[in-house]
Structure 1
């Protein structure tokens, strides 16, 4: 099991998302208390201090220092019970919506303007009775339509437990200068599924499904880079490459259970 520290970071545009996520994961806590609780979990003494910090950086991000003791003290003083995992899930839900907003080609299947799925049988039906150029145009329009539809869900704050697992893996990996073409995002998403993670605040994440789009979003959030937009390497594939250190990935794999190694 790996012990992971996730570097959550947000800016002032993310504050409305934080309010939505707190309401989603702490419906039984009064609105003012749930935000005060999350503020302390994020390392601040009050909600006001968190909001002031966000205002000062404007469009830049602030990196949070998670402080479970502050959150626990606040909750105990007010007779509030809360789950540490729900605090992580609150921040992770905000992080996913944040990445979706900042990366317009992230969609439900992966990444890329032209990589939303149009099945072969659909393409054959579309091309019937029209020219090759017209058929291609219609397929392109269908891809664009599905990209927009797929992104609507991603931009909404929602429960997304697979993302925090992907974020745990990406937090254990290190960047390198060049893009690693040995590992697609789809390969990495399987690596995220294969093992357990221990978040230092006492939360254990057990093996569970992770989607390709969750892994891609987590990699972007963790600061990894891709050249998919520049090189257009896989115009019809939702899988992309990142500048992930193979050595750091191997270290994760070596600690995986034998059936997955």
Structure 2
């Protein structure tokens, strides 16, 4: 999966824009490429194994769609994976822990999900991709796995609003 995408690194897709160095100067194309190669080596390192397996555990719960959907960005999905508490088959804890964006993308490709790259206004790769994943399924997983996230809080408020509109009582009363 990594060999199939020459632009994939732990950071995500592409080399990104040039960044300012500590001295205030912009990095050269060579320095930018060197930064990419460092990130790519992190994607292929042993440190990526646990985040990769955690990502696969999450992706096993995701409903696949026929087409790539808006609102299924890798950056959001990686945050869900980071908070997933699961175990290895032997019962040893796996997660929650940090999941790099590119590791989540690699796991999704490995699991057979399709990806779509995006570009910014200057033509640089966005590090994020979108997938052929059910957005309602991701929203449900996010709600369960990250109950305190902004999305989950918004969902609870909307559910409360609908309950009150139907004449019900607020769960907070």
Q: TM-score, normalised by structure 1?
A: 0.48
Q: 1:233 aligns with which of 109, 116, 119?
A: 119
- What are the ranges of 5 or more consecutive residues in structure 1 without an aligned counterpart? 1-98, 127-137
CA pair 183-203 structure 1, distance change in 2 beyond 3 A: same
* Partner Cα separation in structure 2 for residue 256 and residue 168 of structure 1: 13
By how many angstroms is 1:203 displaced?
4.7
CA RMSD of aligned residues (A): 2.8
Matched, 1:177 2:71: no
- What are the ranges of 5 or more consecutive residues in structure 2 without an aligned counterpart? 153-173
* Partner Cα separation in structure 1 for residue 143 and residue 82 of structure 2: 14
CA contact (8 A) 2:113 2:132 kept: yes
Q: 1:215 aligns with which of 104, 107, 114?
A: 104
* Partner Cα separation in structure 2 for residue 195 and residue 106 of structure 1: 23
* Partner Cα separation in structure 1 for residue 146 and residue 40 of structure 2: 35
* Partner Cα separation in structure 2 for residue 208 and residue 255 of structure 1: 17
Q: TM-score, normalised by structure 2?
A: 0.68
Q: How does 1:56-205 map to 2 (within 5 A)?
A: 99-112=1-14, 114-115=15-16, 118-121=18-21, 125-126=25-26, 139-156=28-45, 158-159=46-47, 160-198=49-87, 202-205=91-94
* Partner Cα separation in structure 1 for residue 67 and residue 91 of structure 2: 35
Q: 2:143 aligns with which of 254, 257, 260?
A: 254
CA pair 145-252 structure 1, distance change in 2 beyond 3 A: same
**Alignment deviations for residues 64-113 of structure 1 (CA, whole Å, 9 cap, x no partner):** xxxxxxxxxxxxxxxxxxxxxxxxxxxxxxxxxxx32232111131112x
* Partner Cα separation in structure 1 for residue 116 and residue 56 of structure 2: 20
Secondary structure at the residue paired with 1:244?
A: coil
